[in-house]
Amino acid sequence: MDLPQLYCQNLERLLADYTPTRLVVAFSGGLDSTVLLDLTCQYAAQHQLPVIAFHINHNLSPNAKQWQNHCQRLAIQLGCDFVAKQVEVKSTGKGVEEAARAKRYQAFEVFLEATDVLLLGHHLQDQLETLLFRFCRSSGVSGLAGMPNSRMIGKARLFRPLLEYTKTDLLHYAEQHQLIWVEDESNKTLDFSRNFLRHEILPKLECHWPNLYRQLIGTKEHCQDAASILEDMAQLDYQAAQVSPPAHWSKGLLVQPLSCQQLLQLSSPRRHNLIRYWLKRVDINITRPLLLEVENSLLMAAEDAMPTIVVGSGDGFGALRCFQDGLFFLPESLARWLPTTQQVEWGWQKHETIDLVGNGQLFCYQSGGEVSAAKLKGKTLKVAYREQLNIDKFAIPGRQGRKTLKRWFQEYQIPPWLRERWPLLVVGSELVAIPGLLVNQAFACEDGELSLSFQWELFSPLVR
Ligand SMILES: Nc1ncnc2c1ncn2[C@@H]1O[C@H](COP(=O)(O)OP(=O)(O)OP(=O)(O)O)[C@@H](O)[C@H]1O
């Protein structure tokens, strides 16, 4: 059977469980995606499906505009729609190529509708490069399972229908059909590690082990099975170890905390597996040395030691901390924040929303609350933060004794990272209320009086 027939069969098998309304081909204009587009147009003609050639212009090369024009011409020639998207690539700690890849996938995600299928031109050699590359960078089993031929991308589905074909297969096809493609000179210069593997290492390995491709694919498949079992196990452990914190603890969190007790009951490899799985939910890859640090210094730490471990880098970054029985992942927005005092001009309307620069919003409602409107009349209300104030001990309605702010926070079991950013309503240096938590007895409303209530909402509700 020739390549177009095999390709059509392969795509049919991959799409069996989907009824896409559009086939979106990620089209760089290089050899692989040119073959991909040509073959996909043949498939689409048989199935009356629209094809979109989607080109990302990274503007990294002086030839970028010419490539884009070339891609557009070819798309028109093949009778499909063409969309080009410009992205701005800034090199992060992981290099230009990685930054370009991240931008590319972001752009795909934004463009795709739920019923679209995205097709990428990766082939067998790309798969082997990926495996070797990950092997050299101490990847785990899921990394060594290689690139999947199908996965979700945002709301849509991504496929790699050329993964079983070699570069030589694609080259033969392109030559036979007189396809024209562009040679991205950055392939030779930008991604040094990959190019080193591609040009220096793989040819030597192939020379020594003629069956190398098949062998490595065998290893990949073993790893795929193992990764799938580890994922199943992590899911079970995750269900058992999730802690549902009180609503006021979850402010700003992206992922539920894990129970330290449950984690400590697991074997060390299972614990590692669960923590990796948990952090993957927020796109953080944790290194093995950091995993050991979490185990040795965080989970074992004394209650009052409060160590913090910074995880991730570049785009994904955050901190791990323990509080009571919870191991928390604090996203960057929670982990790094400096308070600024804000003088609030209160309009005394029925409902007001005040933007707390980088710290969510404060809502004020007239009625249903515990703060007396009369006792605030004529006074200037301010929003401030704990470290800017020197507040005396105070009492709260229905509770015995006067206590410091710290003691009240402790009594209400507020995690330390929230104590410093919880907005405080003050008049002069006197505390009026901690929104959503408590009110100072001196400002509490009496029966039948006009009352005010305050609520603080921090962005990023707990979503995963
Ligand atoms: N600029 C781009 N615009 C759209 N899709 C892209 C772009 N760059 C890469 N892709 C998609 O990702 C696939 C893999 O890209 P990668 O950079 O790993 O390989 P490549 O050698 O550049 O591929 P190609 O030979 O198609 O250019 C490509 O085959 C293509 O489907």
CA nearest 461: which of 334, 356, 353, 363? 334
Of the candidates 13, 84, 11, the residue with the CA atom closest to the CA atom of residue 49 = 11
Instruction: Give me the CATH code for the 226-335 domain, please.
Output: 1.20.59.20
Ligand 1 touching residue 125 (CB < 6 A): no
User: How remote is the CA of residue 44 from the centroid of ligand 1, in Å?
Assistant: 20
CB 25 within 8 A of CB 51: yes
Chain segment 68-86, per-residue pLDDT in tens? 999 999 999 999 999 999 9
Is 30 part of any known ligand binding site? yes
Using an 8 Å Cβ cutoff, are 254 and 464 in contact? yes
Closest-lying ligand 1 atom to the alpha carbon of residue 56: 3
CA dihedral 181, 185, 188, 192 (to 10 degrees): -120
Does residue 26 have its Cβ closer than 6 Å to ligand 1?
A: yes
Place of tokens 């505009």: 65
pLDDT value of residue 398: 85
Determine the longest span between alpha carbons in the chain, in angstroms.
Answer: 89
Residue 8 neighbours by CB under 8 Å, 6+ apart? 39, 42, 43, 46
- What ipTM was predicted for this assembly? 0.93
**Residue nearest atom 10 in ligand 1 by C-alpha distance:** 28
Can you spell out the DSSP letters for 386-406? GGG--PPPB--TTS-S-B-HH
Query: CA-CA distance, 181 to 167, in Å (whole number)?
Result: 14
Task: State residue 463's pLDDT score.
Answer: 45
Best residue for ligand 1 mutational test, from 27, 32, 198 (most atoms within 8 Å of Cβ)? 32
- Average pLDDT per block of 10 residues along the chain, 464 residues long: 88 90 97 97 95 95 93 97 94 78 94 97 93 88 92 95 93 96 70 82 90 87 95 97 83 90 96 96 90 89 75 80 91 73 64 83 83 85 84 88 91 89 88 92 86 82 46
Q: Is the CB of 120 under 6 A from ligand 1?
A: yes
Portions of the chain given CATH number 3.40.50.620? 3-208
pLDDT at 122: 97
Question: Which atom number of ligand 1 is nearest to the Cα of residue 34?
Answer: 26
- Return the residue whose CA atom lies nearest to atom 6 of ligand 1: 28
What local confidence, expressed as pLDDT, does residue 305 receive?
64
Q: Is the beta carbon of 27 within 6 A of some atom in ligand 1?
A: yes
Burial class (CB in 10 A: 0-12, 13-18, 19+), 415: buried
What's the rounded Cα separation, in Å, for the pair 443 and 371? 6
Q: Is residue 100 lining ligand 1, measured as CB closer than 6 Å?
A: no
| Residue 399 near residue 408, CB atoms below 8 Å | no
Listed in order, the ranges of the chain carrying CATH 1.20.59.20 are 226-335
Residue type, 116: D
Angle between helices 3-14 and 31-47 (to 10 degrees): 70
Give dist(CA 154, CA 119) in Å, integer: 14
pLDDT of residue 93: 67
Q: Taking Cα atoms as reference points, which of 434, 426, 432 lies closest to residue 455?
A: 434
Count CB atoms within 10 A of the CB of residue 212. Answer: 14
> What pLDDT score does 462 carry?
47
Q: Which of 23, 27, 31, 33 to mutate to test the pocket of ligand 1 (most atoms within 8 A of CB)?
A: 33
One-letter amino acid at 123 equals: H
Specify whether the CB–CB gap between 460 and 253 falls below 8 A.
yes
How many A from CA of 282 to the centre of ligand 1? 26
Q: CB of 82 within 8 A of CB of 75? A: yes
Going by alpha carbons, the residue nearest to atom 12 of ligand 1 is 120
* SS3 state of residue 15: coil
Residues in the chain: 464
Angle formed at CA 240 by CA 236 and CA 245, multiple of 5 degrees: 135
Q: Which residues pair with 363 in a beta bridge?
A: 353, 455
33: Cβ below 6 Å to ligand 1? Answer: yes
For residues 223 and 414, give the distance between their C-alpha atoms in angstroms, rounded to a whole number.
43
E strands, 373-450, are 382-384, 424-427, 430-434, 438-439
DSSP symbol at 226: H
Select the CATH number that applies to the domain covering 3-208 from these four: 3.40.50.300, 3.40.50.620, 3.40.50.2300, 3.40.50.20.
3.40.50.620
Q: In terms of DSSP H, where are the helices of 266-361? A: 268-280, 288-293, 332-335
DSSP state for residue 94 in the 8-state scheme: T
Q: According to the model, what pLDDT value does residue 339 have?
A: 64
Which token pair is 117?
Answer: 């299928």
Is there an atom of ligand 1 within 6 Å of 198 CB? no
- Ligand 1 mutation pick, 23, 24, 27, 28, max ligand atoms within 8 A of CB: 28
Contact 120, 160 (CB under 8 A): yes
Q: What is the pLDDT of residue 452?
A: 87
CB-ligand 1 contact for 32 (6 Å cutoff): yes
